[in-house]
Amino acid sequence: MSIITAVQGALSLLTLWFAAVFFSHANKNKDKMSDASWGTLSVVGFITNFFDTLGIGSFAPTTALFRAFKLVPDRLIPGTLNVSMTIPVVFEALIFMTVIQVDPFTLIALVAAAIVGAVFGAGVVSHLPEKKIRIGMGVALIIVAFTFVAGLLKWMPIGGEAIALNGAALAIGVVGNLIFGALMTIGVGLYAPCMAMVYALGMSPKVAFPIMMASCAFLMPAASMKFVKEFAYDIKASIAVTIGGSIGVFIAAYIVKELPLDILKWVVVVVCIYTGITLLRAGLKSPDTKPVVEKA
């Protein structure tokens, strides 16, 4: 059995554990579901995870859609993003680890760093007041927007041919993914910054896909279980986005495969900046009160 196969097996077991915790908690608290439309939430999940599979990222556009249609309260958005995207992202990771070659040691080192960062970050974010969550998400969306701009205008390195990191480059990659894992818990998608780092370290652009998707796939079950435990997520949105998102992943990966995405990326930039500014304004006007954490 290859190391990559073992990694896929470990990821599958971790995801089954998360799914058991998530759906058990959701069933136990089904009377606390919101009034948001199942159909709207599922479509949001389908669209954002479809483009996520093609490399756009899902956190920023999902945050924008949640707020635009008033589907999820602001204070629950970080937890809902992590919980709802976990299973779709695991499917992405399993697919891309199969079809794209990457050095197993590099993959494992960067994934482990992201997990550590996310577990720490989730424990902090689930206890933050809404004011700080809004400000954090606002800043995060604007950072993501400028990361997209840097890529579209070719300001970022375009990568090399390497499929492994060694020495100082590996150390930089580990530290970077640790930070990205922590930031992911406030709504900063890991894809864009991880992809930029992989390019800057001279790795093949294709290798960014299994690294960033496996990083998310491993860190999200661990972080999401913390959000579930603290009841810092929206049950209905998480279930609907999981279902719609999983369908979107398989259609994108096996039927569409790739699309010209530059125009869509510019749209995402505009949406991220607009939503980021509105979150910052709302956050600055919010009272600095502690959240009521409802444990189940």
The pLDDT tens digits of the residues spanning 200-215 come to: 788 876 787 888 888 8
Neighbours of 107 (CB within 10 A): 23
* 73, HSE (Cβ side, Cα atoms, 13 Å): 13
Number of separate domains in the chain: 1
Quickly state the pLDDT bin for 4 (edges 50, 70, 90): confident
pLDDT in tens, 80-97: 999 999 999 999 999 988
Closest CA to 79 of 126, 120, 19, 47: 126
Tell me the residue range of the domain where 266 lies. 3-285
Quickly state the pLDDT bin for 288 (edges 50, 70, 90): low
The pTM of the full predicted model, rounded to 2 decimals, is: 0.76
Question: Does any domain span residue 292?
Answer: no
- Helices and strands counted in the chain (H then E): 11, 0
pLDDT in tens, 103-117: 999 999 998 998 888
Question: Does any domain span residue 290?
Answer: no
pLDDT in tens, 177-200: 888 888 777 666 677 777 778 877
Closest CA to 83 of 207, 245, 254, 212: 245
Neighbours of 219 (CB within 10 A): 31
Question: Does any domain span residue 54?
Answer: yes
Question: Does any domain span residue 269?
Answer: yes
